[in-house]
Amino acid sequence: MPQLSTRASNGRRKKPKPGPRTITFRVEGTLRSDPSDASASIQHPASLDHSSAAPNPAADEFTNVFDDPTGMDSMANVEPISTKKTSNNYLASWLTDSAEEYLRILYESESPPGTKFCDHCHRSSNFLYRCTTCLTQRYLCNACILTTHRILPTHKPQLWDDDTWVDVSLFKLGHVLNLGHRGEACSVSCDAGVSPSKLLVGDLNGFFTIQVRYSFTTTLLDTLNVYVTLGRTSAHKFYSVLERISNPGFPDDIKDRYRELMATHRRYLRLLNWQRSGHGFETHQTDHPSSHALDCVACPRPGHNFDEEEVSHDELPFFRAWVSFDGNFQSVRKDKKVEAGDICLSEDQAYVPNKQQYKEWTGQQKEPQRTEKPTCDHHKAGNDTTTRCFVPGGFVDYFRGERFIYADYALASSYAHMSRLGRLTLGMTYDVWCHYQTNLTQRVRNLPSSITLPPDLDLMGAIPKWHLIGHEQACYVRWSLDHTQHVGRMEGEGPERVWAHLNEHSGSTSEQGPGARTDTLNNVAYEWNFEKMIRMDQHLSGKFVEARRMYLEQKAVHDDLMEDLPVEQVLKWEAMSLTPVQGRDKKWSSPLMDPVWSGATRWLSEGIELEHSMHNLRDEVKKHGPKPTPQQSTSINKQRINLANRIAQHNKKRSQFMGQLIEHDLDTEPAGSTNVGEPEHTDLGLPSSFHPPTLSKAGLTSLADLEKDLRRGMCDDALESVRQLLGARALALNYKRRHVRGEVATTRAEAKLRDQNAKVAKVRWRYENSRDALFRLGFSDSDHRCYQLITVDDLRSLKSYLEDISRGVGQGYAKISWIWRSSATTNTDDWQVNALRVEWFRSRERYKRWHEQLILLKREMTMTLRTFRTREEIWKWKAHNGNIPPGMRCYALKQSKFYGALAHRALSAFQPHLCDRIVTLQWSVTWLDRNTNIAGFLPNPSP
């Protein structure tokens, strides 16, 4: 007798022991003969009444491809098939001969009852129900659905509402589950008038043996699909769970149907894709031929959720569609042998374009050579970059690393889908946009004619925010999204989040053949977009609340900064353009770049910062003591190496500014001079290291005056920090005295006070360090008054002085500390204003991006509503056009109601934000006025 193979513990099938060969048989003429001995592999739960249902004419050869060959009862009607045939051969045969028939059966499951009589009590009823969980197709009245489900509370009934089958719950129909008395009602509780309690029940079923060879209900296939996509688990794990539930402890008693489950699931996905794309219906003018993809509902799609003619010229920049491109090197397919006749059921119909055309085109392309070496040496599937959905046609494979032609093809393929009903401006973020945009115009001329980009395409590029950190400053100025207008708070990192999801499927996709892998990726992308779609009401509402708060906060910060700056200077800045400009030296500049100091100013500023770093390192060495731990020693050594490198870079420029003055001529050696070779005790050779006569003789008086200005600015900053820290310390001490009780709380509060004291001491050192340098360079008359020595008595908060000293005894001798009455000026020096210029521009751009974010969110909310309404009306149009069976009409109306329900739920969530006048998008206001009111949507004519 033939012997079946079994699965190993790791999911692979064990090689069968030697014995008679396994022979596969095919039933002849299945579609025209009585299939009573073999049921269709895909069965709707409501169509499996094996006791009374008529023979199913949809059964075909696919049913028996994986049947148990030990069933010899049908030997008279079978012929042997060559064992060289693979599952791909059978899949191709099913697709050609039987797929349409299976789709017809799926549509028939949505057909109306065809009778007004209950199949149980045989009485006429205006309301008929069916159960999608029961393995019978019976139409029941209200009383009978409750009677037959008296002890089946987890079943899912549906009600016929004259158009479609609508999900209802047994609970709402009046079902009461009696847990005692063998399912009968308790007479005591009924007499006492006790109301039943509500109970939430969870249930999951496994395999059950019935008189068919094998069958997988659509409920099981739907559940499997959710687990392997949204749940990100493998199909084998799901199958193992079903085995455990079916027969705990004896899994070998369950016949191995894993291979059949996988084959059936692929076929079922094909049927689902056909259904969801409207296969068999009349073609609507907005339909994309053969497209099974679910597009983003919130992104601009001309002719679908907006028309360019509706948008004013001022608002049009907010209607640019942005996509992100990135490569994923973890979602790979192993280099395994491909079975003959490998077939894909979704290629060029969803998110992956035609792979053969793509492979041939990329193999023929030679990327243009660079004419010059790129200045930025940072390095290292397209999706939309705001709501992070997969873009149809934008999923391509890499064959030889990350070549730009792969991105070119994905960009063109996705744009062809997005712009099929009208022109669209486009934006793209890419980790290496600074390199990618070079020769882009030349490369796109070679694209296939079917996806060629228009020559006048308005394309804008940028670098994602998290990747921009590794680029040079010019990239930050030219390609930063923080400096790009009309993009809001978009960060451009959408693919990174998608990859995290997709990589969890790579264990399965890496083992699959090319066709099955493409089907899986398309399915994962569809379910990802579906999940985004149904949660868009929560997603956009939450983002709007956050954007509103941050806009007001950043606007207040910018307004505060405006108050401390000269009005004439601010007016001058407001008139400046932010467009980056390339100078004669080929370097890019912009008002958003860091202040461009003269060489001497920059060198002196870096020297002062180095002094602070050296002091911090000396403090850390002192804190660890003479015998630090190995970990502490390693940390100190790393900091010393880094500091030594910075000092070496600084010293390379010293001769340029200090001339022949190398060794300082101070009267005393710098502190710690005995620690020879340690970078934290190095003298930097700034002008303050020399006597004024020496500087004058060397012609460095102007350089010394420049350091004086910088030192004064550092003293002013330090004094302001001291004042703030003293106030914070006073508040913390007062809080401790009034509210802190107990040993633990007291210890924590004292630790915080010690931290405050350490911060005060560090800022005090910074002040005194710059004051000493200023003193060596030469005090002016005002310097003696503004920059005095800070004593311990001076380190008292203003509130403490007012409460403890100012109103105490000895008023004749009391005086406020000089740090609270210092006449040190604020931001009036030219160099300080120049430093704040960049921060003024950046703070303005911060609140502007949040302002744009609010406008973009209103645009996305309105587009989401319009997309749902458009799809609702399209499916309604399909239901009433063409000569279609009742089941197809009911399915179309069901889809129409689904999108209508999404639209009403989204409108309820969006309405408060769309009516918020903090920002105004006139395009949105106009559409809402014409299509909605307080009660909801106004009647919408069919598109």
* 431 and 323 fall within a common domain: yes
If asked whether residues 415 and 480 sit together in one domain, one would say yes
Residues 721 and 798 in one domain: yes
Residue for token pair 């793509």: 358
pLDDT of residue 881: 92
Residue ending a domain, among 534, 554, 589, is 534
Instruction: Report residue 102 CA to chain centroid gap.
Output: 37
pLDDT at 820: 63
HSE on the CB side for 818, CA within 13 Å?
A: 12
| CA dihedral (264, 265, 268, 269) positive or negative | negative
Same domain for 575 and 449: no
385 occurs within a structural domain: yes
Q: How far apart are CA 406 and CA 398, in angstroms?
A: 7
What is the model's pLDDT at position 664?
65
CB 235, CB 265: distance < 8 Å:
yes
The three-class DSSP label of residue 407 is helix
268 and 359 housed in the same domain: no
Please count the other Cβ atoms lying within 10 Å of the Cβ belonging to residue 773: 21
Q: What is the pLDDT of residue 667?
A: 57
DSSP state of 678: -
Could you tell me if 700 and 661 are in contact, meaning their C-beta atoms sit under 8 angstroms apart? Answer: yes
Same domain, 754 and 786: yes
Query: Residue 544's closest CA among 915, 913, 859?
Result: 913
pLDDT tens profile 355-405: 889 989 988 888 666 655 555 644 335 555 455 688 999 888 888 777 899
Whether 647 and 786 map to the same domain: the answer is: yes
Rounded to whole angstroms, how far apart are CA atoms 736 and 747?
A: 10
Q: Tokens for 164?
A: 């479609």
865: Cβ contacts below 8 Å, ≥ 6 apart: 903, 906, 907, 910
Looking at the structure, do residues 815 and 847 belong to the same domain, yes or no? no
Tokens of residue 827, six digits: 């931001």
In a domain, 829, yes or no: no
Both 875 and 796 in one domain: the answer is no
* Residue 803 DSSP symbol: I
Among candidates 209, 210, 223, 204, which has minimal Cα distance to 261? Answer: 223
Q: Cite the beta strand spans of 209-305 per DSSP E.
A: 216-217
Residue where one domain finishes, among candidates 820, 847, 865? 820
Query: Are 612 and 693 in the same domain?
Result: yes
Do residues 527 and 542 share a domain? Answer: no
Could you say which of 820, 849, 868 is where a domain stops?
A: 820
On whether both 529 and 552 belong to a single domain, the answer is: no
Burial of 632 (0-12, 13-18, 19+ CB in 10 A): middle
pTM comes to 0.68
Contact (CB, 8 A) for 500 and 508 = no
Structural domain tally of the chain? 4
Partners of 129 in the β-ladder: 140, 159
Segments forming the whole domain that contains residue 692:
599-820
Closest CA to 722 of 763, 685, 671, 680: 763
Query: Is 711 contained in some domain?
Result: yes
587 part of a folded domain: no
**Beta partners for 480?**
463
pLDDT for position 249: 83
Judge whether 418 lies within some domain: yes
Low-confidence stretches of the chain (pLDDT < 70) are: 1-84, 179-215, 289-290, 367-388, 593-598, 660, 662-677, 796-835, 940-943
Domain annotation covers residue 349: yes
**Residue 698 falls within a domain, yes or no?**
yes
The reported pLDDT for the residue numbered 198 is: 56
Residue 726, class by beta-carbon neighbours within 10 Å (0-12 exposed, 13-18 middle, 19+ buried)?
Answer: buried
Contact (CB, 8 A) for 173 and 142: yes
R_g over Cα of the chain? 38
Cα(25)–Cα(32) distance, integer angstroms: 18
Contacts of 329 (CB under 8 A, 6+ apart): 398
Q: pLDDT digits over 232-243, tens only?
A: 889 999 999 888
- In sequence order, what are the residues at sequence separation of 6 or more whose Cβ sits closer than 8 angstroms to the Cβ of residue 755? none
Give the N- to C-terminal CA distance of the chain in Å, as an integer: 63
Which H or E run includes 865? helix 830-879
Q: How many other CB atoms are there within 10 angstroms of residue 366's CB atom?
A: 7
In a domain, 302, yes or no: no
